[in-house]
Amino acid sequence: MSQENVETLRRYHELLNETGEPPFDLFHHEGELHMFEGSPIRGPYRGHQGLQQWRDDTFDVIEDWRVELDDVVTGDDPHLLVAIQRFVGRTRHTGLEVDFPLAVVVRFRDGLISRFEGYRERAEALEAAGLSE
């Protein structure tokens, strides 16, 4: 396990929640973001411009939002982990509360996040990452 990568992921979430903007200095310039199957937000998103577009696409419909990092699952590969997280907020047009669970396989390259792969279920993400609990 790479504790540095776990801390990078935690810092990414902290900064995203504090500023409302993706922390590009923690995301590889060739990085990719892939949404979960069936997501209304298409993707994939590539590079820093893609990461900004993901932010805009996702959070234009949610206000007072944050991404809660509930758990991190690691294994033998120091460049791979699974983030168990939730999108929390309120929909802009209806005012309905949102608390959307999501599991994300996170890959690292050169000490930076290089890929997010979203899954609806924890078990799916763990299987995709070759991890078990």
What is the tens place of the pLDDT at every residue in 46-96? 999 999 999 998 877 788 889 999 999 999 999 999 999 998 999 888 989
pLDDT for 45: 97
pLDDT for 39: 83
Helices (H) and strands (E) in the chain, counts: 3, 6
Domain architecture of the chain: domains with CATH: 3-128 (3.10.450.50)
Burial zone of 122 (CB within 10 Å; 0-12 exposed, 13-18 middle, 19+ buried): middle
Residues 111 and 52: their CA atoms lie apart, in Å, by 20
Residues 111 and 114: their CA atoms lie apart, in Å, by 9
Give the count of beta carbons closer than 10 Å to the beta carbon of residue 97.
10
What is the tens place of the pLDDT at every residue in 107-132? 999 999 999 999 999 999 999 999 97
| Section 100-107 average pLDDT | 96
